Amino acid sequence: MKLKIVPAGTGVTWVRLGIKTFFAQPLALSGLFFLFMAAISLVSLVPFVGPALSLALLPAATLGLMAATREAARGKFPMPAILVTAFRAGRDQMHAMWILGALYALGFLIVMGLSALVDGGEFARLYLVGGTISRETAQQPAFQAAMLVVVGLYAPLSLLFWHAPALVHWNQVPVLKSLFFSIVACFRNFLAFTVYGLAWSAVFIGAGLVVSLLGAALGGPALAALLVVPTALLMAAMFFTSVYFSYVDSFEESADDEPGQLDHNKAPPN
């Protein structure tokens, strides 16, 4: 497994392939994403340990969505069982995935804990436990500062875990090395990931404008508000579909890796 450096424009390719692959299997990929969201939400409701456990499951669940994308890109219909791909591998890989999940949960909780030093824990409580954010709370400088702390610290955390689940599962990379390789790959391909983020921002803004215009033309603000949530979920499903392609282009397969990695120039089939 070797790191690959790609041109900045590859970020647009990842977005394009994510959208194209999603529409190759829209029912399967949207259904799996909704199932992923529902499962994580249900786990988070478990008393005491729910929020931490749902965080620990995110790397494995993300791998499941990446595996589903790989199946869809190969012209196959991914079944629901693919979401637990991480737990159907060998014992060592499954153990490594649990460690990865525990580290992610710990990192996220540390980020929230640091934000609590700014606003007394109001933002962290609302995010982890839930509740309604009043206008007065949202306008408080301390609350806004805590939100900025979370955004600033979560960015490097997400880069640490961006490729890590795939590296652990498909490349048998040890947990700590997977985190190191993940963030190095993201930084070495910084321009491509920057273009990737900007391209997705443009897609989300464009989708929001379309929904607003449709709502105004067909039923007014009420219809537009009704369409916002399902549209956002579908866009999020497309985004998660594109994550797989960033992994494929960031690492070169070696003889020790699981065979059959995807050449994005051949996927998805027409």
Q: Summarize pLDDT for 82-116 with one digit per residue, the tens.
A: 999 998 888 888 999 999 999 999 999 999 999 99
Tokens representing residue 75 in the block: 């012209």
Cα separations in angstroms, 209 against 15, 197, 204, 231, 238: 19, 18, 9, 11, 17
Q: Check residue 258 and give its pLDDT.
A: 52
* Res. 243: pLDDT tops 80: yes
Q: Higher pLDDT residue, 187 or 216?
A: 187
DSSP tag of 256? T
Long-range CB pairs of 212-220, under 8 A, 24+ apart, other chains included? none
DSSP tag of 258? P
Percentage, residues of the chain above pLDDT 90: 69
| Of the candidates 196, 237, 193, 231, the residue with the CA atom closest to the CA atom of residue 83 | 237
Total residue length of the chain: 270
| Mean pLDDT of all residues in 229-238 | 92
DSSP tag of 255? T
Q: Check residue 270 and give its pLDDT.
A: 35
Give the integer Cα–Cα distance in Å for 215 and 135: 26
Give the integer Cα–Cα distance in Å for 30 and 19: 12
Tokens representing residue 217 in the block: 């033309």
Instruction: Name the region of 75 (left: φ>0; alpha: ψ -120 to 50; beta: rest).
Output: left
* Res. 26: pLDDT tops 70: yes
State the chain's mean pLDDT as an integer: 89
Phi/psi at 189 (5° precision): -105, 40
Q: Check residue 269 and give its pLDDT.
A: 39
| Mean pLDDT of all residues in 62-77 | 96
Which residue intervals of the chain are DSSP H helices? 10-24, 26-44, 50-73, 91-119, 122-129, 135-138, 141-162, 164-170, 175-188, 190-218, 221-250
- pLDDT band for position 259 (cuts 50, 70, 90): very low
Distance of CA 202 to the CA centre of its chain: 18
Query: Is 160 in a helix, a strand, or coil?
Result: helix
- pLDDT band for position 137 (cuts 50, 70, 90): confident
Give the integer Cα–Cα distance in Å for 72 and 59: 20
| Mean pLDDT of all residues in 134-141 | 85
Q: Check residue 262 and give its pLDDT.
A: 46
Residues 6+ apart with CB under 8 A from 14: 192, 196, 242, 245, 246, 249
Q: Check residue 185 and give its pLDDT.
A: 97
Q: Check residue 254 and give its pLDDT.
A: 58
Q: Check residue 215 and give its pLDDT.
A: 77
* Res. 13: pLDDT tops 70: yes
| Mean pLDDT of all residues in 215-227 | 74
- pTM, to two decimals: 0.88
- pLDDT band for position 222 (cuts 50, 70, 90): confident
DSSP tag of 3? E
* Res. 68: pLDDT tops 60: yes
Give the integer Cα–Cα distance in Å for 150 and 114: 8
